[in-house]
Chain A
Amino acid sequence: MRLFFHQLRAEQKLFWRSRELAFFTFLLPILFYMLLGSAYGDDQINGVDGYQYLLAGMIGYGAASTTFAGLALLLVIRRESGALKRLRVTPLPPATYVAAVLASIIFIFLAEAAILIAIGRFAYDVPMPDSLVSLIVVILLGAASFAALGIGLTALIKSAEGSSAVVNALYLPLSFISGAFFSAETFPEVLQKLALLLPLSHLIRLTRDVMVYDDRVWDHLGDAAVVAIWGLIGLVGAIRGFRWEPRER
């Protein structure tokens, strides 16, 4: 346990010190919320107040950008620089290391979600959901699934140079077609169908159902299941494909 907290503290320091990563994965969803909110927050989207509608999308986008993209980039950069390999020859147990990295990135996403919700609540008068428990469950489910996918993704990335291109090419279109930035209902049907196969649209819908319509998470087990299944796919990929040593040499 001492080692876990020692590493967790170090992970926090490392995340906040790498400015670019912190900006793109942590701050950008918050900036987008304010930017898009200023554009159409006062409009009605699908019969819902714009700020309220956007908030759920931004939480989903935050999960993709922080726990998926951010985690994948951070791990690939450390793998390719040889830092992961170096840790392997110390007495720090690999499981403790991975647990601390995961806890750190999930904590960062929780902070981001809390900031988004606070901005919605205090700046834009977005009402709080009935069931805070459901909201927390949804956010944790999203965080865990996307973190597993983020680790799994590192198996597909061959170099540090190419990592941000690969990661951006995945999570930005994913966020777009999943309706993170605006309603996806006017999108071509192909894109809508594709989005339904992927986890983010379900996570955003789940968040929206809980936050806007005051549903409970167990009213939408189908959506929760899709998110969880993708998490399991990520987990299998992570277990089979995660590497401690640089791919390129």
Chain B
Amino acid sequence: MNAVEVHGLRKSYGDFEAVRRIDFELRAGEVFGLLGPNGAGKTTTVEILVGYRHRDAGEVRVLGADPEQADRRWRGRIGVVPQSGELFPNLTVREHLDLFAGYYDDPRPPAEVLELIGLEEKARAKTRTLSGGQRRRLDLGVALVGDPELLFLDEPTTGFDPSARRAAWETIRSLRSLGKTILLTTHYIEEAHQLADRVAVLTRGEIVASGTPAELIGQAPSTVIRYRRNGEQVVLETEDPVRVLHDLTDKALRDGADLGELEVHRPTLEEVYLSLTEEPRE
């Protein structure tokens, strides 16, 4: 059974359609990346899946239940790192973990969580004294203390510097190896590429592409071949780069011509993403 199944999900705020009929599923044990620019509907989708927000239409099953009708036991099986929101500034790191552990029937020992999020040295520090990155790690700790099978990470590394981001990626990889199913939203292509087994690109409330990162790159329109002939730039776009390149070089060799600055370019995930999420020009 899939951990999450979403069919025809829709949600509007007044006239604004935040999510327009999307479909996707999460298989147990995978990291699924919901990739899209700000305002694409990622947070709305997550809030519906965790039972926080009411949907207008569509089928949603999360761990076999409809999140809107879910009970206490179900809540104990999911963990959520929301995009924004603070904890209690006057409680220490350890006190937060103890507080939230108390909400679950079978929590993971707070000392273990402390180690997992790498905040052992800050255990006795009040939350208000923590740096932004440390707070974000505590957010993750609070989500992990219930020992959930399914984790929702809503932009977990936004605002991190590159080294903090890499450290967070390591933590997320280690969670995956513990067998957790993870839904990750992000607007960093690199993050989705690094972490996700499968990615859906969400833009303006619609999923415009999905698949493994490699498949997404494979969906890209074409390979670009560039070179100069007689000082003039030539650009070829092709679906069949091997043949075109062979013909090109073969001809050049026979003619004794030079292919200046010859370059074969495969689209990166970033280019695919940008072409998919581009705002329509009017």
Contacts and interface: CB of A to CB of B under 8 A. Distances in A.
A92 B52 CA distance: 14
Nearest to B102: A6
Interface stretch (B78-86, B162-170, B232-240): B78-86
B99 A10 contact: yes
Interface stretch (A43-51, A82-90, A197-205): A82-90
B259 to A, nearest CB: 55
B91 A13 contact: yes
A17 interface: yes
A83 B84 CA distance: 10
A3 interface: yes
Contact of A14 (B90, B102, B105): B90
Nearest to A16: B90
A81 interface: yes
Given A3-B102, A82-B85, A89 B80 contact: yes
Nearest to B84: A82
A91 interface: yes
Interface residues of A, number: 20
B87 interface: yes
B280 to A, nearest CB: 27
Interface in B18-62: 50-52
| Interface magnitude class on chain B | 20 to 34
B91 A14 contact: yes
A91 B104 CA distance: 6
Contacts of A241: none
Contacts of B103: 3, 6, 90-92
B142 interface: yes
B68 interface: no
B76 A85 contact: no
Given A13-B95, A88-B52, A81 B85 contact: yes
A89 B95 contact: no
A86 B140 CA distance: 12
A18 interface: yes
A97 B224 CA distance: 59
Interface string A83-117: 10110111111000000000000000000000000
Interface string A223-248: 00000000000000000000000100
A81 B86 contact: yes
A85 B52 contact: yes
B204 interface: no
Contacts of B75: 89-91
Interface of A: 3, 6-7, 10, 13-14, 17-18, 81-83, 85-86, 88-93, 246
